[in-house]
Chain A
Amino acid sequence: MIRLTIDGQTVTVPEGTMIVDAAEKLGIEVPIYCYHQALGPLGACRMCLVQVEKMPKLVTGCTTPVAEGMVVHTKGPAVEKGRRGILEFLLINHPLDCPVCDKGGECHLQDYTFRYGPPAGRFAEAKLERLKDAPVSELILIDQERCVLCQRCVRFLGEYVGEPQLMLKGRGVETVVAPVDDRPVDSRFSGNIIDLCPVGALTSAAYRFKARPWNQERHPSVCPHCPVGCPVTVTAREEHVVRVEGRPIPEHDWGWLCDRGRFGYDFAVAPSRLLSARVAGRVVPEVAAVRHLANLVRTVREQHGAAAIGVVVGGQHSAEDAFYLRHFAESVLGEGVRLAVSQTVKGYLPLALNGTYDDIGVADAVVLLGSDPYRAAPVLYLKLRERWRRDPQLVRWGVGVRPLSRPTLPLRELRVGPQEMAATVAWGLFSQRPDDEGLRLLTESLEGWQPRDPEGARALAATLLDSQHLVLLWDGKEPWMEAVLGVLTRLRGEKGTRVLPTFGPPNLRGFEWAGIPARWGALEDLLQATVRGEVRLLWVLGADLLREIPDYALAAQALERVEHAVFEGLFPPEGSERFELWLPGAGWSEEPGTWANLEGRLRSVAEAVPPPGEARPVKSLLTALARALRQPWTPPEWNPYLGAEGGLLPREGEPTAPARLPRPEPTAGDLYVWGEPEVFVGGYPSENLRPRRPSLLGEIHPVDAAAWGIGEDGGELGIERFGRRWTVTVRPSAAAAPGMLILPLGAAEAPVNQIGEGPASVIPRVEVERR
Chain B
Amino acid sequence: MFKTVKALAKGLGTTLRALTEPRDTIAYPEKRREYAPRFRGKHMLARDEDGHELCVGCGLCEAVCPANAIRVVAAEAEPGKNISWTDRYSVDYEVDLIRCIFCGMCEEACPTNAVRLTPFNELAAYSRLDMIADKEELLHPPVRK
A residues at B contact (CB < 8 Å): 97-100, 104-105, 133, 208-210, 212, 214-215, 238
Q: Would you call B121 an interface residue if the criterion is a C-beta within 8 Å of the partner chain's C-beta atoms?
A: no
How close is B11's CB to chain A, nearest CB, in angstroms? Answer: 62
Contact A100 B62 (CB under 8 A): no
> What CA separation (Å) do A215 and B59 show in the bound complex?
8
Q: Whose C-beta in chain A lies nearest to the C-beta of B64?
A: A214
Contacts of B63 in A (CB 8 A): 105, 212, 214-215
Contact B59 A214 (CB under 8 A): yes
Expressed in whole angstroms, the minimum distance between the Cβ of A571 and any Cβ of chain B is 28
Whether B76 lies near A214 (C-beta < 8 A) is no
- Contact at A98–B59, with CB atoms within 8 Å? no
Pairwise interchain contact A212-B59, C-beta atoms closer than 8 A: yes
Interface residues of B in 98-113 (CB under 8 A from A): 111-112
B56 / chain A contacts, CB cutoff of 8 Å:
99-100
A209 near B75 with CB under 8 A, answer yes
CA distance A98 to B57 in the complex (A): 11
User: For chain B residues 57-83, which have a beta carbon within 8 Å of chain A?
Assistant: 57-60, 62-63, 72-76
Q: Which residues of B contact A99 (CB under 8 A)?
A: 56, 58, 60, 111-112
- Say whether B135 faces chain A, with CB atoms less than 8 Å apart: no
Contact status of A212 and B58, CB under 8 A, knowing A99-B111, A99-B112, A100-B86: yes
B130 within 8 A of A: no
Q: How far is the CA of A634 from the CA of B26 in the complex (A)?
A: 67
Residue among A98, A133, A209, A214 making CB contact with B74, cutoff 8 Å: A209
CB distance from B32 to the nearest CB of A (A): 36
Kindly state the separation between the CA atoms of A83 and B126 in the bound complex, as whole angstroms. Answer: 57
Q: Could you give, for residues 44-63 of chain B, a 1 whenever the CB lies within 8 Å of some chain A CB and a 0 otherwise?
A: 00000000000011111011
Specify which of A100, A208, A210 is in contact with B58 (CB 8 Å cutoff).
A100
* Contact A98 B76, beta carbon cutoff 8 Å: no
Taking a contact as CB atoms closer than 8 A, the residue among B62, B75, B112 that contacts A215 in the complex is B62
Given A209-B75, A209-B76, A100 and B59 contact (CB-CB distance below 8 Å)? no
- Cβ A133 vs Cβ B111 within 8 A: no
Closest to B114 in A: A99
| Chain B nearest Cβ from A579, distance in angstroms | 38
By a CB distance below 8 angstroms, the chain B residues around A215 are 59, 62-63, 72
Partner of A214, one of B62, B86, B87: B62
List B contacts of A209 (CB < 8 A). Answer: 57, 74-76, 88
CA of A238 to CA of B76, assembled, Å: 18
Contact B75 A98 (CB under 8 A): no
Q: B19 to nearest A CB, angstroms?
A: 57
> Closest Cβ of chain A: how far from B3's Cβ, in Å?
72
Beta-carbon nearest neighbor of A133 in chain B: B87
Residues of A within 8 A of B75 (CB): 209
Q: A212-B62, A212-B63 are in contact. List 19 more A-B contacts (CB 8 A).
A: A97-B86, A99-B56, A99-B58, A99-B111, A100-B58, A100-B87, A100-B88, A104-B58, A105-B63, A133-B87, A208-B76, A209-B57, A209-B74, A209-B88, A212-B58, A212-B59, A214-B59, A214-B63, A215-B59
B105 to A: closest C-beta gap in Å? 14
| Complex contacts, B58 vs chain A, CB 8 Å | 98-100, 104, 212
Alpha-carbon distance between A99 and B62 when the two chains are bound, in angstroms? 13
* Most chain B CB atoms below 10 A, which of A100, A133, A212, A238: A100
B74 → chain A closest CB, angstroms:
4
Q: Which chain A residues border B73 with CB–CB below 8 Å? A: 238
**Which chain A residue shows the least CB distance to B62?**
A215
CB closest chain-A residue, reference B72: A215
Closest Cβ neighbor of B74 among chain A residues: A209
Give the contacts of B108-143 with A (CB-CB under 8 A): 111-112
B65 to chain A, nearest CB (A): 10
Q: Which chain B residue has the least Cβ–Cβ distance from A212?
A: B59
What separation, in Å, do the CA atoms of A238 and B59 have in the docked complex?
14
Cβ of B93 to closest chain A Cβ, rounded Å: 13
Q: Which residue of B lies closest to A205 (CB)?
A: B76
Q: Which 4 A-B pairs have the closest CB atoms?
A: A99-B58, A214-B63, A209-B74, A100-B88
**22 A-B interface contacts by CB (under 8 A):** A98-B111, A99-B60, A99-B111, A99-B112, A100-B58, A100-B86, A100-B88, A104-B58, A133-B87, A208-B76, A209-B57, A209-B76, A210-B74, A212-B58, A212-B59, A212-B62, A212-B63, A214-B59, A214-B63, A215-B59, A215-B63, A215-B72
A212 to B58 alpha-carbon distance, docked (Å): 8
**Shortest Cβ distance from B86 into A: residue:** A100
Q: How far is the CB of B76 from chain A (nearest CB, A)?
A: 5
Can you name the residue of chain B whose Cβ is closest to the Cβ of A97? B86
Tell me how far the C-beta of B134 lies from the nearest C-beta in chain A, rounded to whole angstroms.
Answer: 16
List residues of chain B with CB within 8 A of the CB of A97.
Answer: 86
Task: Please report the C-alpha to C-alpha distance between residue A105 and residue B74 in the assembled complex, in whole angstroms.
Answer: 15
Q: How far is the CA of A214 from the CA of B56 in the complex (A)?
A: 16
Q: Which residues of A contact B76 (CB under 8 A)?
A: 208-209
With both chains docked as a complex, state the minimum distance between the C-beta of B46 and any C-beta of chain A, in angstroms.
15
Chain A positions within 8 Å of B72 at CB level: 215
Which residues of chain B come closer than 8 Å to A214, judged between CB atoms?
A: 59, 62-63
Interchain CA distance A165-B86 in the complex, whole Å: 30
Which residues does chain B contribute within 8 Å of A100, judged by CB atoms? 56, 58, 86-88
Chain B residue at smallest Cβ distance from A213: B63
A104 to B63, CA, bound (A): 12
In the complex, per-residue mask of B30-49: 1 if CB is within 8 Å of any chain A CB, else 0: 00000000000000000000
Taking CB atoms, residues of chain A closer than 8 Å to B60 are 99
Residues of B within 8 A of A238 (CB): 73
| B82 vs chain A, min Cβ distance (A) | 12
CA of A214 to CA of B109, assembled, Å: 14
In the complex the two chains form, what is the Cα distance from A97 to B56 in whole Å?
A: 10
Instruction: Kindly report which residue of chain A lies nearest to residue B110, judged by CB atoms.
Output: A99
Distance between A683 CB and nearest chain B CB, rounded to angstroms = 28
Q: How far is the CA of A726 from the CA of B133 in the complex (A)?
A: 59
> How far is B111's CA from A212's CA once the two chains are assembled, in angstroms?
15
Chain B residue contacts of A210, Cβ below 8 A: 74
Distance of A98 Cα from B86 Cα, bound (Å): 13
- Taken together as a complex, chains A and B put the C-alpha atoms of A209 and B86 apart, in Å, by 13
Q: For B74, what are the chain A residues with a Cβ–Cβ distance below 8 Å?
A: 209-210
Roughly how many angstroms separate A105 CA and B112 CA in the complex, as a whole number?
A: 17
How far is B11's CA from A512's CA once the two chains are assembled, in angstroms? 92
- Closest-CB distance, B63 to chain A (whole angstroms): 4
Chain B, residue nearest A96 (CB):
B111
Task: Give the shortest distance, in Å, between B49 (CB) and chain A (any CB).
Answer: 20
Min CB–CB distance B66 → chain A (angstroms): 13
Bound CA–CA A215/B72 (angstroms):
9
B143 to chain A, nearest CB (A): 29
Tell me the bound Cα distance from A100 to B72 in angstroms.
13
A212 to B73, alpha carbons, bound, how many Å?
10
Residues on A with C-beta less than 8 A from B57 are 209
Nearest neighbor of A105 in chain B, beta-carbon distance: B63
Instruction: Give the distance in Å from the alpha carbon of A98 to the alpha carbon of B76 in the complex.
Output: 15
User: Which residues from chain B contact A105 at a C-beta distance below 8 Å?
Assistant: 63
